[in-house]
Structure 1
């Protein structure tokens, strides 16, 4: 199986890459700068995403994991003075536009394999769990969820299943040391969810440990 994982230099992305490689699969992982076995792919640059696809040379992709993400507004508290427009633009570019551009650029590869797409959203993208903070991150993850639901409908006739996932509150730079789930446990749970994904379950929004999540 050929797996493409964006944002694979650390955290859940790195844990997923290690798990798939240990299982004997071919993994193309990306990071902004590349190196250490990763392909350089800047998620805010459409040309860089196209170059990622071109570098695969037409190789089929069995699973695309859109994992790269930003949480720049963590700690922003004042609606009156915080959340600058530049922060909105960068975070939406990485968390929403980039997953679409990755699917778009890799669509021939996914079609060849009748592959799967996994979009890493968050419970913070659930509209039923609005908490009145982290406005940019929540809006971007809600948009990523909506994107995944629409892609599931649009790609169903191609046999490409699309799932959207909450990785848990993970012990990463983003989640912090107090988080409840290790990157390894999150990756193992997510990999099991990706294995379950099928044309019959396309459009699902599930947690890393297998629970259906409220939209």
Structure 2
């Protein structure tokens, strides 16, 4: 199985890449670092095109849209800027769309291809504890994007799942997180395994629970 993971240089993305490689799968992991083997700023359409050209006609069995940013953690309302909003939406929403758009030809070459979008429980409209406005809004948009992609790609047999990775002890999640990177990655990969046309459009947690929208 050939798996492409965006934002695979750290955190959950890196751990998923490690586990998949150990299982014998071929993993192409991207990073914003221009010096990396598969450099990709997901917000840059030119880099997306170059990355797709580099993959040429290689089928992609699983695309994991994991790259994202959390720029407004702990930020008071009065300190928000237009740049925080634009960068958050560019990475967490536009970046997901551009990645799927660029790599759709490769997904179409695989039998039963899958797209996994890493969103967050903070995307849920049923949860509104306040704060983190840009992050919450961008992850809600990513959830909506995934749901609509699942509708449009159903006829092509490409399943799309949206996932909450848990509150993970990473640079983004902080030291107070509930679970380790290893636990999150293991659970997510199990969820990707069972994703299919019967569950396309799902919004699930890392441990298999159906999340409220």
TM-score interval, smaller chain:
over 0.9
Alpha-carbon distance in 1 for matches of 2:170, 2:51: 26
Alpha-carbon distance in 2 for matches of 1:148, 1:31: 22
Describe the SS at the equivalent of 2:30.
Answer: strand
Alpha-carbon distance in 2 for matches of 1:112, 1:130: 41
Tell me which residue corresponds to 2:101.
Answer: 104
Describe the SS at the equivalent of 1:90.
Answer: helix
Within 5 A, what are the aligned runs for 1:10-25? 10-25=10-25
Tell me which residue corresponds to 1:88.
Answer: 85
Describe the SS at the equivalent of 1:155.
Answer: helix
For structure 2, which runs of at least 5 residues remain unmatched after alignment?
none
- Alpha-carbon offset, residue 50 of structure 1: 1.4
Within 5 A, what are the aligned runs for 1:61-140? 61-77=60-76, 79=77, 81-113=78-110, 114-140=112-138
CA deviation profile, 1:113-171 (whole Å, cap 9, x unmatched): 13100000000010100111100000000000000000000000010000000000001
Describe the SS at the equivalent of 2:84.
Answer: helix
- Per the normalisation by structure 2, the TM-score is 0.97
Alpha-carbon distance in 2 for matches of 1:55, 1:175: 32
> Would the aligned equivalents of 2:74 and 2:131 in 1 still touch at CA under 8 Å?
no
Within 5 A, what are the aligned runs for 1:189-204? 189-204=187-202
Within 5 A, what are the aligned runs for 1:9-48? 9-35=9-35, 38-48=37-47
Alpha-carbon distance in 1 for matches of 2:14, 2:74: 25
Describe the SS at the equivalent of 1:39.
Answer: coil
Alpha-carbon distance in 2 for matches of 1:154, 1:43: 22
Instruction: From the superposition, tell whether residues 142 and 111 of structure 1 become closer, same or farther in structure 2 (CA, over 3 Å).
Output: same
> Would the aligned equivalents of 2:164 and 2:205 in 1 still touch at CA under 8 Å?
yes
Tell me which residue corresponds to 2:141.
Answer: 143
- Per the normalisation by structure 1, the TM-score is 0.96
Q: What RMSD over aligned residues (CA atoms) do the two structures have, in Å?
A: 1.0
CA deviation profile, 1:158-203 (whole Å, cap 9, x unmatched): 1000000000000100001111111111000000000000011100
